[in-house]
Amino acid sequence: SKTAYEASEEYRDKIAGGQSPYPAKAPWYPFVAGQLTELLTSALEGYPYPLKAWISNMSNPFYGIPGLRAVAEEKLKDPRRLPLFIAIDAFMNETTALADYIVPDTHNFESWGFTAPWGGVASKATTARWPVVAPATHRTADGQPVSMEAFCIAVAKRLHLPGFGDRAITDPQGNAFPLNRAEDFYLRVAANIAFMGKTPVAPANQEDITLTGVSRILPAIQHTLKADEVGRVAFIYSRGGRFAPEDSGYTEQRLGNAWKKPLQIWNADVAAHRHAITGERFSGCPVWYPARLSDGRAIDDQFPIGQWPLKLISFKSNTMSSSTAVIPRLHHVKPANLVALNPQDGERYGLQHGDRVRIITPGGQVVAQISLLNGVMPGVIAIEHGYGHREMGATQHSLDGVPMPYDPQIRAGINLNDLGFADPTRTITNTWLDWVSGAAVRQGLPAKIERI
Summarised one tens digit per residue, pLDDT across range 258-274 is 888 888 899 999 999 99
CB atoms within 10 A of CB 373: 14
The answer to whether the CB of 344 falls within 8 A of the CB of 363 is: no
The answer to whether the CB of 62 falls within 8 A of the CB of 77 is: no
Percent of the chain with pLDDT over 70: 100
Give CA angle at 306 (305, 312), nearest 5°: 40
| Cα gap 109→130, rounded to integer Å | 8
291-451 has CATH 3.60.20.30 classification: no
Fill in the DSSP letter of residue 392: T
Report in angstroms the alpha-carbon separations of 48 from 4, 18, 27, 34, 346: 12, 21, 11, 14, 47
Give CA angle at 191 (186, 195), nearest 5°: 150
| Cα gap 244→241, rounded to integer Å | 10
Q: Tell me whether the omega of the peptide bond preceding residue 335 falls within 30 degrees of 0, making it cis.
A: no
User: What pLDDT, on a 0 to 100 scale, did the predictor assign at position 2?
Assistant: 84
Q: What is the pLDDT of residues 56-108, one digit of tens each?
A: 999 999 999 999 999 999 999 999 999 999 999 999 999 999 999 999 999 99
User: What pLDDT, on a 0 to 100 scale, did the predictor assign at position 130?
Assistant: 96
User: What pLDDT, on a 0 to 100 scale, did the predictor assign at position 254?
Assistant: 87
Q: What is the pLDDT of residues 149-184, one digit of tens each?
A: 999 999 999 999 999 999 999 999 999 999 999 999
User: What pLDDT, on a 0 to 100 scale, did the predictor assign at position 258?
Assistant: 84
Strands (E), 9-160: 53-57, 84-89, 101-104, 113-115, 125-129
CB atoms within 10 A of CB 105: 24
pTM: 0.92
User: What pLDDT, on a 0 to 100 scale, did the predictor assign at position 255?
Assistant: 87
pLDDT band for position 251 (50/70/90)?
A: confident
Domain range summary for the chain, segments of one domain joined by +: 113-247, 291-451
Relative to beta strand 356-361, strand 364-369 is: antiparallel
Give CA angle at 173 (171, 175), nearest 5°: 60
Look over the chain and give the mean of its residue pLDDT values, rounded to a whole number.
Answer: 95
The answer to whether the CB of 185 falls within 8 A of the CB of 179 is: yes
- Mean pLDDT for 380-409 is 95
User: What pLDDT, on a 0 to 100 scale, did the predictor assign at position 34?
Assistant: 76
Fill in the DSSP letter of residue 7: G
Percent of the chain with pLDDT over 90: 92
What is the rounded (10 degree) CA torsion for 431, 437, 443, 449? Answer: -30
The residue type found at 330 is L
User: What pLDDT, on a 0 to 100 scale, did the predictor assign at position 257?
Assistant: 84
